[in-house]
Amino acid sequence: MKNNKLYIFAFISLVVGIIAYLALENIIIAISVFVIYLLITVLILLPRFKNYDETKNRYHECYHFINNFIITLSIKKSISGALETTVGSMNAEFIDMFNGLENMTENEKLDYLSSYFQFSDYSLFLEIISIWQEEGGDIISMSKYLISNIRHNEEYLIKTESISKRKYVEIGILWAISLSIIVVLRFALSEFYGKVKGQILYIASISLILIFALLTIVLLVQKGTSLKLKGNSNHEKNA
């Protein structure tokens, strides 16, 4: 996934560099634009996407784990039985990690997973399990708020990811059209272009447009990769 994003942004950087050359006929500025776009991609955009993807995928796992564990516990009435069934339903990476905890007790394993699921929801889950072990009761009723919260966050993640993808496409199309107009006008008004191409005001104007396009991309990615998970203050500002 990361490589796919790198290829996409590298292609965008190359296209913008080519547009800069066609508009200005200045190879130094064109290369500079390409390098700046690529550096921003590697230093800012890709790390944000990486953190976002890791947080999103980890919360999906957390949701799956908590939901399955509570349901299974309500049926089996056993921590070990619920843990065994729930772990068996997780992905291969999680199972491999969990298998390395074989020398721990069930409670120690659950506590250890708080370093894997670094969300407030998981901390609340541990508190509920601790109370259930001490006092008993209906685990489903005891977890009503928690289940509601994790489902809300799961739906929020799915919804925001869909909205972000749509915004990426919409803004991408708008900027593609805008930059295409620059190229079209450069050839359609070749006589006028010949008079202004060396002027500082023209060069500055094209440069500002390309800088603004880059700023738009950065702000869009920052917005699209920011998460506000309900009840999880550690992940509210960004992923």
Tokens at 239, concatenated: 């992923």
Do residue 229 and residue 161 come from a single domain? yes
**Contact present, 79 and 129 (Cβ < 8 Å):** yes
Do residue 35 and residue 140 come from a single domain? no
Last residue of a domain, one of 103, 125, 148: 148
Do residue 127 and residue 83 come from a single domain? yes
Residue with tokens 């070990």: 80
Query: Distances in Å between the alpha carbon of 222 and those of 1, 131, 162?
Result: 18, 40, 15
Q: What is the DSSP letter of 219?
A: H
pLDDT over 70, % of the chain: 95
Do residue 89 and residue 134 come from a single domain? yes
Do residue 220 and residue 158 come from a single domain? yes
Residue with tokens 């601790």: 130
Last residue of a domain, one of 130, 148, 166: 148
Query: Distances in Å between the alpha carbon of 13 and those of 35, 58, 92, 158, 227?
Result: 8, 31, 36, 29, 27
DSSP string for 88-122: HTS-HHHHHHHHTTTTS-HHHHHHHGGGTS-SHHH
- Three-state SS at 25: coil
Do residue 112 and residue 224 come from a single domain? no
Do residue 104 and residue 132 come from a single domain? yes
Q: Give the count of domains, the chain.
A: 2
Q: Which pLDDT score is estimated for 232?
A: 61
pLDDT, one tens digit per residue, over 159-207 is 999 999 999 999 999 999 999 988 888 888 888 787 787 788 888 999 9
Do residue 130 and residue 31 come from a single domain? no
C-alpha R_g of the chain: 26
**Contact present, 33 and 16 (Cβ < 8 Å):** yes
**Contact present, 227 and 236 (Cβ < 8 Å):** yes
The mean pLDDT of the chain is 89
200: containing domain: 2-63+151-235
Do residue 228 and residue 182 come from a single domain? yes
Q: 10 Å Cβ neighbour count for 137?
A: 11
Do residue 21 and residue 97 come from a single domain? no
pTM score, two decimals? Answer: 0.81
End-to-end distance of the chain based on CA atoms, in angstroms? 17
Q: Which pLDDT score is estimated for 189?
A: 82
What is the C-alpha to C-alpha distance for residues 178 and 206, in angstroms, rounded to an integer?
12
**Contact present, 41 and 17 (Cβ < 8 Å):** no
Do residue 43 and residue 159 come from a single domain? yes
Do residue 49 and residue 158 come from a single domain? yes
Last residue of a domain, one of 113, 148, 183: 148
pLDDT, one tens digit per residue, over 42-59 is 999 999 999 999 999 999
